[in-house]
Amino acid sequence: MTRLRLGRSISLWALFALLVPGLAGALPPLRGYPNDGRKPLDASFLEAQRGWEFGNQLGQKFGACGSGQCIGGSFCDSCRCYSPTTDISRAFCQCRLADPSCGLGECVGPNYCTGPYCTNSLCYIDTAPISQVMCQGFHLDDRCNLHRDCGPGYCVGDSFCDDCLCYAPSAPISQLACRCHRLDPSCGFGECLPNGAYCEAGHCPAPVCYAPDYFISLVMCQGGSLDCNCELQCATPPPGMRAWWPYDEPVGPGASDIVGGNNGVHQGGPTPQPGKVAGGLFFDGVDDRVVAPLFGGHNYMNLTVDAWIRPEALSAAGMTVIEYGSFVYALILEGSELRLVIQPFPVSFAPISSGANIAPGTWTHVAVTASTATGEIRFYVDGNLVTVFTGYSASGFVGGSGWVTGMGSFGNRLFHGTIDEVEIFERALTADEIRSIYAAGSAGKCK
């Protein structure tokens, strides 16, 4: 999903400057930060992107034309009917992004707020498609796909600007293009593909698409952020963590749990080597494992298990990432899918993901959550939800002696590859929390 955080638009003065000759010289300096927080209202924006009329509507607030309705693919209100090919008609009538009866609303920064004429008026978040279309310069094609093209960009100080608006210096595009100089601003503001990859717009000589796990894609499309040195910012560890094995030790046999004291010991000879975040551990798939005795209690009825994994090969029989107790619960890579085996009291569960498509030789962030509140077990891959299993329940839990990484019960399901940053939480993390861990990439969680 896209997460393009936008700055604010230019003010209504820009429109008057276009329509009233000589007024521009009397305007205050334009810095790209409006007084009213509304979308830019220059002539090309209104005419080409929205199909709005000027004249007697100049200066009217959005919503002043009453309730709307759809007539043959056109959005109509008391002021006019819009062509079926305009973004307004497509948004309200063809793609059904918002209720037309509310009438045209207004933009508060990058957020679209509906008109006041329907029962349930509301403001949408900035990543909602209706906000992107109405307030951020995105377009809808005839298949309801989102596109954005506001021409080439340029930097004004630390702010990225294009034909649609200027972004705050803290916006990802401003950070990457103007403060850190990691993107060419002349390419323009690109787009995020469904797989999380960021692709530059085509206004520079050689626009490119970046891999989903490259830091530019993580920042532009997946909520990552940059520190003062223009490097990926580490993620704040979510609360409720029970154990965290970073596997950063340069030599064995110790493997510290830096939050819960459940310190592990190498058995069979797993090899420290570079991981996704600093160090990691390579498991040979023959007898390598890390055994960590339980220190204190562990209530796993509500649970999250996450890790970075880089399998050397896939196995239909399964390879254990980590197991607690004697098969009390285990996260297993089974072929290219993930399976969680969990045995709370009185029922056991063993759901498997669908569409995880984990590939050998590639770092992948995997996570699974179990929640008694929602009755769901959720599987995540690289920050994206891939499968939801319903019907989970637990009224108690079975004790276990500790965890084993890289090997299942009875010495089977051995992992062949590298494992890094294994964490256990005694609650189900939210989708945003899991995404923040993935989006931090090689910066990992803040220690």
The tens-digit pLDDT sequence of the chain (447 residues) is 333 333 333 333 333 333 333 333 332 222 222 222 223 323 333 333 333 222 222 233 455 788 999 998 899 988 888 888 888 999 999 999 999 999 998 888 888 988 888 887 788 988 889 988 888 878 887 888 887 778 899 999 999 998 877 889 999 999 999 999 999 999 998 888 878 899 998 888 888 999 999 999 999 988 899 999 999 999 999 999 999 999 999 998 999 999 999 999 999 999 999 999 999 999 999 999 999 999 888 999 999 999 999 999 999 999 999 999 988 999 999 999 999 999 988 889 999 999 999 999 999 999 999 999 999 999 999 999 999 999 999 988 888 889 999 999 867 899 999 999 999 999 999 999 999 999 999 999 999
Cα–Cα distances in angstroms (integers) from residue 406 to residues 292, 398, 420, in the given order: 12, 22, 11
Q: How far apart (Å, rounded) are the C-alpha atoms in residues 420 and 406?
A: 11
Instruction: Let me know: does 148 contact 165? Beta carbons within 8 Å.
Output: no
pTM over 0.85: no
Cα angle 274-277-283, degrees, rounded to a multiple of 5 = 45
DSSP track, 49-85: II----GGGTTPPTTTT---EEETTEEE-SS-B--TT
Instruction: Let me know: does 78 contact 65? Beta carbons within 8 Å.
Output: yes
Q: How far apart (Å, rounded) are the C-alpha atoms in residues 422 and 339?
A: 16
Q: How far apart (Å, rounded) are the C-alpha atoms in residues 230 and 446?
A: 16
Cα–Cα distances in angstroms (integers) from residue 117 to residues 58, 92, 98, in the given order: 21, 14, 13
Say how many C-beta atoms besides its own lie within 10 A of residue 408's C-beta: 23
Q: How far apart (Å, rounded) are the C-alpha atoms in residues 315 and 416?
A: 9
Q: What is the CA radius of gyration of the chain?
A: 26
